[in-house]
Structures are given as structure tokens and as C-alpha cells.
Copies of this chain bind each other. A is one copy, B any other.
Amino acid sequence: MKQLHDERDALDHLFALSAATSEFMERGLAQRGLSRARASVLWALHRQGPMTQRELSDAVGVTPRNITGLVDALEACGHAVRNPHPSDRRATIVSLTDKGNETMDGVQNGYRESASRLFSDMPEEDLAAFLSVADRLIGRVREHPPARHSTPGRTSPLS
């Protein structure tokens, strides 16, 4: 009885934490004029360097058609550029511009500040417990349920 209630309370907390965190992250991106979808492209380029749109498609987890649109938008606002592939004339290489790199550095610094603000005064053992539980939950949540083909758009910030 008590245990059952605790479990449901925990799932409630998990959902609430997920929603709040998601809004938190998107608010940070919005300050720099980025949507989550566009930021996910910039993250991939920032972490892994220049790559073709096909590679971006795999890295970000959306179809090549969508990469066309996202890169169009990022090019229009000066965060990325398209260049011809040196040896494969079908392909185009997408790279970050200086502005794109500055933006992503800023996002990264923002995350550092956030991390400090959220966790710096948290007791060591609470932090450890949170990391441990989060690890287990991530694993369970990913493996168990009837896995459909991936839902798009998860970004993986904080390189």
C-alpha cells in the first residue's frame, strides 16, 4: 500500500522533472534564438566537426529532407555554411561559422553556470544518489517498453 503509493509518487516526480528540465533547456536555447531542432544540428557540428548532410541526418536522427530545412535556416541566420565536398560532387559539407561556434560556446558556458546553480550546494551523497538513480532509470526507461522507431529531436548538450 505504502510502497505502491511511493512508486506512483516517484513516477509523478520523474515526469514533472522531465517536463521542467525540458522547458529549462529550451529556454536557454531560446535566449540565443535557437529551437531544439536547430540546436541539435549545431551540437552535432560542434562536437564532431564538419560533416555531410547525410551524416548530420544520422547524427541528429531526422530524415535527410529535414536536414535540408534545418541547414537552410541555420545558414540564413549565419550559424552554419554549406560547402561542396572535395571529392564527392553529390555531397555538401556543413560547417559552423565563427558565429555558430561562438553561439555554441555560449550555450556551453550557460550550461556550466546552470550546473553550478543547480548542483553546487547539493550534499555530496545526494548528488551521488541522484546520479545512481538517474543511471538506472535511463537504462530501464530505454530498454523495457515496446520500442518504436526513435522519436526525434533529443539533443545531447554539454559535450
Task: List residues of chain A with CB under 8 Å of any chain B CB.
Answer: 3-4, 6-28, 30-31, 111-112, 114-120, 122, 125-127, 129-138, 140-142, 144-148, 150-151, 154-158
Query: A interface, by DSSP: helix, strand, loop or mixed?
Result: helix
Chain B residues near A6: list those with CB within 8 A.
Answer: 119, 127
Alpha-carbon gap, A152 to B16, bound state (A): 14
A129 → B minimal CB distance (Å):
4
From the candidates B9, B20, B132, B154, name the one contacting A19 in the complex (CB within 8 A): B154
* Chain B residues within an 8 Å CB radius of A125: 129
A3, closest chain B residue (CB)? B120
Cβ contact within 8 Å between A129 and B130: yes
Shortest distance in angstroms between A29's beta carbon and chain B's nearest beta carbon? 11
Contact check: which of B17, B31, B112, B156 meets A8 at CB < 8 Å? B112
Complex-state Cα separation, A15 to B40, whole angstroms: 13
Residues of B within 8 A of A15 (CB): 21, 25, 155-158
Question: Which residues of B lie under 8 Å from residue A136 when comparing CB positions?
Answer: 122
Contacting residues, chain B, for A31 (C-beta < 8 A): 146
Residue with the greatest number of chain B CB neighbours at <10 A, chosen from A7, A22, A133, A156:
A133
Q: Which of B119, B122, B134, B155 contacts A17 (CB 8 A)?
A: B134
